[in-house]
Structure 1
Amino acid sequence: MRPVYAAAALAALVAPALAAGFNLPPRAPGQWEMKVQVDTAAMPPQIIRMCLDAETDKLLNAKFAGAASRLCSRQEQKTEGDALVLESDCAIGEMKTFSRSVVTGDFNSAYVMRTDVRMEGSNAPEGVQRTTPAGPSSQQTTIEAKRVGECAEGFKPGDMDFGLGRVVNLRDMPDPNIN
């Protein structure tokens, strides 16, 4: 169950913020700690530690931008007061998602991203669909990110620690842009 939760946390981290069409400021190089809380799930927050430099921050954006551009029919970015607002409409097979993320703070030291996602349809096998509630569902995710200093000893740019006892480098992750 924990590996599935890690994948969900990664998806929550990258999907709303790093999709094509969004022009986010680069994060300051160094060690970032991200607390990911799926507000509608009865699970504790996931802590993700990530070592970034300018190259790997750009790579993280590029790695997911192409897939998002194929899946999303609408990507809008605007500023409301001090907040950056990101909205998208996407489809993965029979499932459609409508998301709105509000980002406050700055990308040099700390920011918070609150995302509301409404989902319709399902990609689950037919048997599973019959046992799950019909109709739209929603999920709220809060990501609290902060730069905690220089990269930890033994970490190199692109290293991500999901708290599962294993560090994965962004460069070694599968490219979602390859069919």
Structure 2
Amino acid sequence: MRKAQILALAGLAAALVACDRKPETAPPKLPAPPNSGPAASVAPPVLPTALPDRAPGLWEQKVSSDGVTQASQLCLDRAVAERFTVWGQNAGRKGCTPAKVTTRAGGGFDFTTDCDLGENGKSSTVGAVTGDLARAYKVSAQHTVTGAKAPQMNGRHAMTLDAVWKGPCPSGMVPGDVRLPGGVKLNMLKIPHG
């Protein structure tokens, strides 16, 4: 049963790394400027409309879903970070809508995306990204899968990913490498995603 849970969590993580294209970033809604008075000369704050870059190097990640937590390490460079976004998009999957990303008023970003994962079903994800992305960030998402051949993948899954930057990638790891428990190492750039 534990092995099935880990495989399901790995499947969920893979599904989150399963959509392509750059995000459609909606401009933030800013308050209307006041009509008069001293505050009229003060411009409203400009909120960012794109996620800041993640720092290149080694990231330790913990993904939790359905009561199971899996730790991993990811070696990241700019090219891998651009291809595999924090909300789970990559440049290899053809069956996904562009992510809709909006700036949160309290800081961070909200996102939604839908993907057709073939035999792994159809997914719809709604979530939020918080943190500075240079040294630490958190992704919280509700991920709904329907039509997957593996029954444990179907249904609604709450998922959190906590990532902390640890410094340069160690020798033996190249950008795109992921180390999983049990000594398993794979490279995300070499996994077929389309």
Shorter-chain TM-score tier: 0.7 to 0.9
User: Are 2:59 and 1:28 equivalent residues in the alignment?
Assistant: no
Deviation track 1:121-157 (CA, whole Å, cap 9, x = no partner) reads x2328xx7xxx9xxx8311000001101121243222
Aligned counterpart, 2:91? 65
Aligned counterpart, 1:10? 13
- CA spacing shift, 1:159–1:85, aligned 2, 3 Å: same
Which of 132, 137, 143 aligns to 1:106? It is 132
- Kindly indicate which of the two structures has a greater share of residues assigned to strand: 1
Which of 63, 66, 71 aligns to 1:47? It is 71
Q: Which TM-score applies when normalising by structure 1?
A: 0.72
Decide which structure has the larger Cα Rg and report it: 2
Aligned counterpart, 1:123? 148
Aligned counterpart, 2:31? none
**Counterpart secondary structure, 2:82:** helix
Q: Which TM-score applies when normalising by structure 2?
A: 0.67
**Runs of 4+ with >6 A deviation:** none
Unmatched tracts of structure 1, length 5 or more: none
**Counterpart secondary structure, 1:32:** strand
Post-superposition shift, 1:58? Answer: 2.9
In the aligned structure 1, how far is the partner of 2:185 from the partner of 2:156? Answer: 31
Unmatched tracts of structure 2, length 5 or more: 24-49
